[in-house]
Amino acid sequence: MVKRGAFIVIEGLDRSGKSTQTSLLRANLEAAGIPTELIKFPDRTTAIGQMIDSYLKSQSDLDDHVIHLLFSANRWELASTIEKLLTSGTTVICDRYAFSGIAFSASKGLPYEWCRAPDVSLPAPDLALFLQITPEAAKARGGYGEERYEREEMQRSVGEIFHRIGAEIASEGVRWVAVDAGHERDQVEEDIWMFVKPLAQGVEGPIRRLWP
Ligand code: Z5A
Ligand code: MG
């Protein structure tokens, strides 16, 4: 059977090192000769992404439902690109995905089930790695407080909802693995590689859909 690329999502709280680790993972996959594409959500370069960017920087205000739908629409803008890449044998890494969408909006008080709905049928990852870090350790890394949501109490409630999501999607068949992101960069990189390496040569079977 012809293999397709693996779809790997890296999630986590603010400052847990998602962008650092997604870049390192891309470099490791490329060094192993695996065609790889790295996508970051929100993708602030599109028209929708620019509305999100302005909201996050508190330059504009939007109803909670509206911003939730924009984050989801921003993923749908790239859904067919992700599918094409995977089908052509490219491994796709996403820096945040639909799980962030639910965690942040539900922690603002929107109904959990409502938050899941707009992402139904998006490509589902073959592996979701959740970078776990305490809000205290994240805060110590600096840079907190520059954008909306970057407050300790918000991060705490987001963390709780991420745990609910992890338990739920794991029971639905999506592989969700928690990685201790409080370690040194190299250690986290190694831990991530251990989980990704078995998928690096490609994955058999069709691309699955959210929510399985
Ligand atoms: N959001 C949403 O509400 N709904 C959605 O659907 C989506 C997102 C997709 C912007 O996201 C906001 O959008 C976010 C969620 C919401 N709000 N919050 N909070 P973003 O992804 O653009 O956020 P960001 O500004 O890129 O921050 P970040 O992603 O949270 O940071 P990070 O990528 O996890 O961390 P990093 O940039 O790799 O590292 C942070 C610092 O720590 C940096 O100085 C590193 O050098 C350092 N670092 C990294 N690793 C280590 C280790 N191991 N040890 C010590 N220091 C380290
Ligand atoms: Mg980041």
Per-residue model confidence as pLDDT tens digits over 32-44:
999 999 999 999 9
Tell me what ipTM this predicted complex has: 0.97
pLDDT digits (tens, 9 = 90+) for 167-202: 999 988 899 999 999 999 999 999 999 999 999 999
Please report whether residue 207 resides in a domain: no
Q: How far apart are CA 167 and CA 196, in angstroms?
A: 20
Probe target for ligand 1 pocket from 18, 51, 64, with the most ligand atoms within 8 Å of CB: 18
At residue 146, the 3 state secondary structure works out as coil
Please report whether residue 25 resides in a domain: yes
Work out which ligand 1 atom sits closest to the CA atom of 13: 30
Please report whether residue 179 resides in a domain: yes
| Domain that residue 30 falls in | 7-200
Work out which ligand 1 atom sits closest to the CA atom of 150: 19
How many domains are there within the chain?
A: 1
Check pocket membership of 100 for ligand 1, CB cut-off 6 A: yes
Instruction: Read off the CATH number of the domain in which 71 is found.
Output: 3.40.50.300
pLDDT digits (tens, 9 = 90+) for 137-178: 888 887 666 788 888 888 889 999 999 999 999 988 899 999
Check pocket membership of 46 for ligand 1, CB cut-off 6 A: no
Please report whether residue 205 resides in a domain: no
Ligand 1 geometric centre to CA of 15 (Å): 4
